[in-house]
Amino acid sequence: MADIFMAFGIGLLLLILVSLYRVVTGPTVLDRILGGNVIGSQTTVLLLLIGLIYGNVGMFVDIALAYALLNFIATLGATKYFLRRRSVHLDSDLQEGKEAAE
């Protein structure tokens, strides 16, 4: 049974690596936050699978719960930041735009 959990864990790890593409090359910042949110929820599940492989789920459940909470808070915080700025452009992009306009 541990081999099966190992196979599912490796599959989930490959999915995390593939979805890292959206974080690296997202057109907007919100795409990157979305990719980070997806990777976080996949990691929450992967931690439980690691707990099953080690035969010690009781310890990894707490880590997974903390990771789920952190993922939610981090997404809400980053989203709130860009909601207040009302712009997805970073400072360097804005300055380059101003210099191009001048």
Binding site for another protein (CB under 8 A): 1, 4, 8, 11-12, 15, 18-19, 21-22, 27-28, 30-31, 33-35, 37-38, 41-42, 44-45, 48-49, 51-52, 57-58, 61-62, 64-65, 68-69, 72, 75-76, 79-80, 82-83, 85-88
| Phi (first) and psi of residue 80, to 5 degrees | -65, -35
Residue 62 or 96: which CB sits closer to another protein?
62
The CA-based angle 17-18-22, given to 5 degrees, is: 105
Residue 55 or 102: which CB sits closer to another protein?
55
Instruction: Give the number of other Cβ atoms within 10 Å of residue 39's Cβ.
Output: 19
Rg (the chain; Cα; Å) = 18
